[in-house]
Structure 1
Amino acid sequence: MLHLRVISPPELTDDVLGLLDDAVGVTNLVVLPGAARSPKGDLIQLDIAREAANEVIERLQQLGLCAEGSIAAEQVDLSISDAADRAEEEAPGEGDDAVVWAEFARKVGDDSRLTWAFLAFLTIATQIAAIGVIVNSPILIVGAMVLGPEFGAIAAVCFGLLRRDPQLIGRALRTLAIGFVAAITITFACALALRGLGWIGPSSLNGHKEIEFIVKPDRWSFIVALLAGAAGVLSVTAGKSSALVGVFISVTTVPAAGYFALAAALTLWGDVAASVTQLGVNIAGMVIAGTLTLTVQKAYWSRFGVRLPARRPRGSGHR
């Protein structure tokens, strides 16, 4: 269940209420005329089943509320109401399976932006992965996987491909490219310093059978990336953060970047090439599977038609 807060200019409120009164999945509708001050207008609050939210939000946008008013949504963690239960039963499908596209678009849009936090987390994760390689510690490798923030940008690429939005795709790819280049460069510099101090050398990567999967990309690497990409998109659209942690642990993007930086500092060019291949295989597999998963979800939900009224002329006297 989602809670929507709508600020509507008075001249649009009749149209908004005409839409909401007849829409499936809407309950707990409250109207406070003239309550909103910035922007000015009528305050309308309601709860709506997730599986019915897309068409209602899209119709509200078509009414012009994005420009002349406001639409905000938040998750309802607890709702004790027979009316809310009936609204969810009337809406098609299951709430846990529903994709609220406006919510997903905002999330991946934010995740596709290059920020200092993204660079810091990716750099720290890459350095932890490199240390995990040096000390032959699978635990550190797993920790680096979980810490890496790159999946948000990968999901943005998938959504951009679904929507055929070259601007979103370009921004997300730019974030990934700059992020990994910065993380690898800083980790490479640190590895050179450690080599200069005599802490590591070419022999430091010998006998590490527990983590050699990082530099051995094969068909299984691609299959795991496909599965992780599908699971990652499902976890984001369903809001299942615990499942997303499992996705992070499944793919070796950050460990491959860490191994790349370390191998380059030790001039082990064979391992450098293998690390680059592993990184590319993982990202490509996740993008392919994530895009296909979004396509299937969109096709699935397009089968359900939520009953909405025809657009009414302004000033229809609904109130």
Structure 2
Amino acid sequence: MLRFSGAGVSDVGRVRPHNEDAGFVGPYVALVADCVGGAAAGEVASATAAYAVSATAMSRFLDPPELVLTDAAEAARAAVRLGVQCDLDRLGMATTLTVLICDGSRVVLGHVGDSRAYRCRDGQLEQLTTDHTYVQHLVDAGQLSPAAARRHPWRNVVLRSVDGDPEGPGLDLTPVPTRVGDRLLLCSDGLTDLVDDDRIAEVLRLADPLSAAVLTQSALVAGGKDNITCVVLDVVAGPLVVGDGQLLGSLRDVENIVDVGSVRQQRPSWTDTRGSAGAQGPHRSQ
């Protein structure tokens, strides 16, 4: 039976006053979420989405990963929407979400925003996600080179995210062929804006299980201008493992989490009539 064995590190960086990234590392689900938009309560958006997705996945281990990811994304969207309804100062809060789920035999990736997933196999690095950004749109249209995209001033303008919009397109779902020995990376743009693919590949080739810490340190040395979250997973085979996971970043503070079940039991009735958080257009990732 396949599962993940790994760890993650989330660091506030050298510039930001607090950490608005969230992450989760478990044997069958792992994710990174990074707030976007510059709105207040970015840490609430990322932690709330991370909690909703990880809780859904952990309770649905035997279900098809695609179905779990679809339902988990809807749970995250509903929780973010409810978080805004309960406190309108949070209007516009949103988050990226990049998540891997394994059902023991298959791995499926869910993705929205500009956090990323990579696979390192036999020492070769492959990016598994496509950024949902304005600059990536220009690259795809042939109007901008990948090299120029790394320096473009609008490279962090995110076109899609988990923002509470009930009509949003949801996650891109991609089956990820995996085998024992593959190494997977989930990370926020606090890493990829500062550390190039060659350095990422070099670190992922290390046998050291603390690769996530080495990658985070690489981003700090390069300036650490943003929160940095890295999750490194080795695909291993073994018996079923039961247990919790590692909480990262804003997910470690329960005050950041909007739990739909709990809030509905105590929120005032006026929140039912305020509408949804809604889409706020393109966002700039933080």
TM (norm. structure 1) is: 0.23
Query: Of the two structures, which has the highest relative contact order with CA contacts closer than 8 Å and spacing of 6 or more?
Result: 2
Larger radius of gyration: 1
For normalisation by structure 2, the TM-score amounts to 0.25
Of Structure 1 and Structure 2, which has the larger fraction of its residues in helix?
Answer: 1
